[in-house]
Amino acid sequence: MAKLNGKKFVEKSIEQLKLYPFGTKFIIKAKNFETGEVKILKDQTIKTYSKSLSYLKYLNVAGYNIFLFLCRQTGGATDILLDDITNQGVKRLYNDGFEPLYYLETSPDNFQAIIKLSDSPVDNMDILTFISRQLAETYDADINSSDIRHFFRIAGFVNRKLKYRNEKGLYPFVEFFVGIGKTCKKGQEYIDKILAGIDAGFIELPPERNIATPPALLQAGKKMGNTCTNILKKSMIAATQAIYPPLILKPPNMQS
């Protein structure tokens, strides 16, 4: 069993990645917040990630924060991220039928919740972003991080932000909680309400965007492919840090 700072947490990242369908590819980003240096491991799978663990642990000890990005496949996506949500917010998700696939405690009482909304992929990424922002507002999460292109944490590594370092010079581990490990109860119903709102004219979305197209290129009218490799070639890091214009123009009453 591997250890970091004497604690047996890193293998939890394997459990985290195994919750995604077989063959899912990931991008791993290691970023040193002090120097700004970034290292990328592209087109990772469970198998290649397992072989990269020792290297990632070394980078984490050397001052790098470790992040994950899910490569979206042709056909759409089913999951969203709620960032900077509290423990109370996670409990509300459970109570309201938006139970997380899994969630991570990234620092004391600060969580990232990954929610699988449907068993059928949603091919319009703007709809997923819209839903993510609605839920972020409802559950007091970070709206600016509710973009489906947002990198998020990997379980088992330490969060090396200076503000979280304790008096002993140690940083908190990113802890992993399985959640329900499947699609949430109210996700498909919520998607259907959003689609009904669009059809009825209560919700208005901008023209559909290619998920792999950074906002700067969208404004220039350019298009890109939909693979992780093409994302990286066109500065995926810059794309994930961009903030979309507001999508909620005429929000409906989503209460049943």
Indicate if the pLDDT at residue 40 is higher than 50.
yes
More confident residue, 67 or 161: 67
Distance CA(202)–CA(44), nearest Å, equals 40
pLDDT, tens digit, for every residue of 132-183? 989 999 999 998 887 667 899 999 999 988 888 888 888 899 999 999 999 9
Q: Tell me, what amino acid is at 72?
A: R
Distance CA(35)–CA(46), nearest Å, equals 29
Q: What is the band of 75 on the pLDDT scale with cuts at 50, 70, 90?
A: low
pLDDT at 240: 34
Q: What is the pTM of this model?
A: 0.76
pLDDT, tens digit, for every residue of 196-255? 998 888 887 755 444 333 333 333 333 333 445 444 443 333 333 333 333 333 333 444
**Residue ranges per domain, the chain?**
12-241
pLDDT, tens digit, for every residue of 2-39? 444 444 545 889 999 999 988 889 999 999 988 999 99
CATH number of 12-241: 3.30.70.1790
Burial of 40 (C-beta count, 10 Å sphere; 0-12/13-18/19+): middle
